[in-house]
Every structure is written in C-alpha cells, then in structure tokens.
Amino acid sequence: MFLDTDPVGLKLFVILLMIFANGLLAMAEIAIVSSRRMRLEILVAEGTRGAKAALALANDPNQLLAVVQIGITLIGVLTGAFGGATLAAGFAKYLNNVAVLAAYSETLSLVIVVAGITFFSLLIGEMVPKKVGLNNPEPIACMLAVPMRLLAQVAAPLVKIISFLTESIINLFGLPRTSETAVTEEEIKVLIAEGARNGTFEESEKEMVDKVFRLGDMKISGLMRPRTQLEWLDTEDSEDNNFHILIESGYSCFPVARGSLDEVLGVVYAKDLLAGKLLNGKLDIEAALKAPLYVPKSVKVMRMLEMFKQSGNHISFVIDEYGGFQGIVTLDDIMEELIGDVVIEDTAEEPEIILRDDGSWLMDGMLGIEELKEFSGVDELPGEDRDHFQTLGGFVVSYFGYIPEITEGFEWNGMRFEVVDMDRVRVDKVLVSKIFTTESVNGIVG
C-alpha cells in the first residue's frame, strides 16, 4: 500500500533493490576469489551443492570478474541517474512545505539524496557484503556460484566485446602485461605463522617448516663435524686400539685413514666390523671398507639430502677446494637439524650452552656457528667468509687473530666473550655475558 500511494517510497525501494544487487555481486566476487581451491575440491567430493560451479569459477575467474565489474558499474550508474533524476525531485516537494527550506529545496534534496545513496552503496553494496564473503568464502561461493555462472553465460557476448576493446587499447599503447607472480618463501612463512596463531597449525609444525626453509639456505659446512672432533680408525693402529674406539665411542660408522686424516681411505660401519669379528675372529677394517661420498663444503644441505637418497650412503666426506679432508656430514646431522636432538638413553651429552645463575652463559668451544648465530641474532659472524671457522672456538681464535690464553676476552654484539678453559691449543669453554651500558642500567634502576 505504501508503494502504491507514495511515489518517493517506490523510487526509494528501487534504489535499495539495486544497492542490494550490487552487494550480491561484490560478495560473490570476493568469496569466489578468496576461496581455497583445496577446500572447494573437498566440498565437491562431499557433494556440496554449488561446489563444482564455485571451483570452476575459482579456477578461471576472468569472465566472472568481468561480469561483476560490468554489473557493479552499470548498477552504480543506474542508481545515481535514477536517484538524482527522480528521487531528488520527489523529495524536493516535501522540502517545499518547510518555509525556511523552500528556496533551497532542489539543491538540498539533491545533496541529501546523493549523500544517502553514496552512504548506503558503500555500506550495504560494498563493505558489509565483502566482509561477509571474506569471512565465509567457501560457503558463500557455493551458494552464489550457480546464479553467477548463469549471469556470466548471459553476459558473455558483452564481456567478449569489452575484453576485445581492452586488449586493443593495451596493444595500441604498448602497455606491459603483468604475469602471475609465484608465491614467495616469505609469503608462505607469513601464512604458516598466521595459521599457527589462529590454531590451524601446531607451533611444532610451524617450527619444522621454518627449519626446512633454513636448511634450504644452509650449506653443509654449517652442519659439518670438523676433523678435530672425529673418532676415526687408523689402519696402521693396533686391532685392540681400533676395537676399543669402536666399542667406547658408540658411533655406527667411522672414517678410516692411514696414519692421519690427511690420507682418508673410506668409511666402515660398526655392524660390518663386529659381524666380521664374530665370523673370523679379527677386526678386518680393509675388508669392510666402503667408498664414501666426497662433497665440497659449498654444497647446500637439501642437495646433500638428495645425494644421500640417491646413493644409499648415510655419510659424506667434506673436502676443501684443494681436496683436503675437512670433516664429515651424516644423515643424522641433517635430521637432527630438522627435528632437533634425539636423546637416546644412556647417551645424553652435556649441553653446549649452560645458563648460569648470574645470567651469563657457559658455552662449549665446539658449539657450531649456526647455533652461535641463532643465539646472537645475526646472519653472519665477523671473519666467517675469510677464516671459514665452524665452531665457537674457531670464531674466538679468528677474532683474536692468535690462540688466546685463559681469561682473555673481547666484546662483540653487546656481549663479552671470555676464554675460561683451553684444551692445549683448542678453546674448550667460553663464558658469554651481556654488556650493561650506563643507559641500560639506569633504565633497569628506573
């Protein structure tokens, strides 16, 4: 009854209807574009109504986006034209009844109508629908996909004409075309971090993904156990001594050398040596000797992992540019970097970093530089590229430029490093403490 007797009410209803249609188009666009393909594929497999159409539009959204853009533009033009031409004139009649406003009724009516249409177009026709579509992309996409696909089919001729004209203008002016950008490592990290915050991923899963990316950038020199830290078997040594090393060390494989590690021969596995001793009564190292992988220290960790898979070996000998033996990297070293140390009963080792009661840290000189960099919050240590050290002890010697004595120290990166124990010429223990400046002390006291 209201629409029949009040022409302004009828016009207002038509405008609100167009704004609502604009909102449906905006909601469908954002929902389909934001929908995850994997989630839509699951919904298709479950037989969800509209999921198949939504997946088709999500895989090829170009026609949909063109139809939505045409529809929104057309509705916007019609809403403005209809409201300005008809609603403003009808509303002005009501303002004429107010004596004070009668002289300005047409101008005020136009301003009020335009402001009102703009406000409701933004609120109901854009912001609210897009927010709803963004918060519930897959359900909304399934609900609106079928009518949107029908609309796209009806508007296909118009879309083709506009697309042809668009391409012609781009070609005419020689404008560059942007190709689809691949997802970057940083974007994946941000998505995983966001998923961990909202509970989609476990924190342990996020940490493992971070470690995988870190391994992808790491060279095997960062995981290498240097030759000075190795237990190895000497073909020129006595059988009893080699057997003692085999039993006491607890390792599953050993580098084998003749006289010194300057002449490495290969690798042996403890199980092969022990099996041979049970059968033949002696430790025949040369009979159990196997050829290892020889790799330069510049090889990336992920490439090393692939080489382990292809060769079946679990140990590689790291060599420098002159062919000199530098150390070893095993499959266990890579797995420990990925999933953390696996503590086996009766084989737990002393921690390499011990937090003391006074807030300082006692560090083992054999602490790897990757752990040291992570502890210090830096990507590169001073002199790392020049001196190629692999441990905290090597870093300390490099920083001094000579083999230090106990109690000698230096300051770097807001911390003091003090040598507290030496194993002959090797730095065995280092005390690390934070340096408190006058400003920081005043801040703590204040």
Q: Helix/strand/coil (H, E, C) string of 171-184?
A: HHHCCCCCCCCCCC
Three-class DSSP category at 204: helix
To which residue do tokens 């002449």 refer? 263
Q: Which is nearest to 399 in space by CA: 385, 386, 383, 416?
A: 383
Selection from 389, 395, 340, 383 nearest residue 215 by Cα = 340
Give the integer Cα–Cα distance in Å for 323 and 261.
12
For the question of whether the overall pTM of this predicted structure is more than 0.75, the answer is no
Q: Where in the chain is the domain with CATH 3.30.465.10?
A: 353-445
Pull the structure tokens for residue 245.
Answer: 């090393």
* Residues facing residue 429 across a β-bridge: 364, 421
Q: What are phi and psi of 152, to 5 degrees?
A: -65, -40
Query: What stretches of 307-414 adopt beta strand conformation (E)?
Result: 315-319, 325-330, 353-355, 361-364, 409-412
Give the separation between CA 311 and CA 326, rounded to whole angstroms. Answer: 21
Strands across the sheet with 293-296, in order? 225-226, 325-330, 315-319, 293-296
**Domain spanning 218-339: which CATH class is it, in words?**
alpha beta
Helices (H) and strands (E) in the chain, counts: 21, 12
Q: What residue type is assigned to position 348 of the chain? A: A
**pLDDT reported for residue 46:** 86
- The per-residue pLDDT for 412 is 92
68 with 156: CB under 8 angstroms?
A: no
* Residue corresponding to tokens 């000797």: 289
Domain with CATH 3.10.580.10 in the chain: 218-339
First to last CA, the chain: 74
Determine the Cα–Cα distance for residues 98 and 106; give it in Å rounded to an integer: 13
CB 289 within 8 A of CB 253: no
What is the pLDDT, as a whole number, of residue 445?
A: 35
CA–CA dist 391, 358 (Å, integer): 25
| pLDDT at residue 179, rounded to an integer | 52
Longest dimension (CA), the chain: 121
- Residue 340 makes CB contacts below 8 A (sequence gap 6+) with none
Phi, psi of 266 (to 5 degrees): 160, -155
- Look at residue 100 in the predicted model and tell me its pLDDT: 67
Q: How far is CA 438 from the centre of its chain?
A: 39
pLDDT profile of the chain (446 residues), mean per 10? 54 84 89 85 87 86 81 84 70 70 74 82 88 89 88 84 82 68 71 78 80 82 84 89 82 88 89 84 86 87 88 86 87 81 50 82 88 86 82 90 91 92 86 72 38
Burial of 62 (0-12, 13-18, 19+ CB in 10 A): exposed
Handedness of CA 152, 154, 160, 165 (dihedral sign): negative
Q: Rounded to whole angstroms, what are the CA distances from 340 to 123, 332, 336?
A: 51, 10, 5
CA–CA separation, 15 and 315 (whole Å): 75
CATH number of 353-445: 3.30.465.10
Q: Return the pLDDT at 256.
A: 92
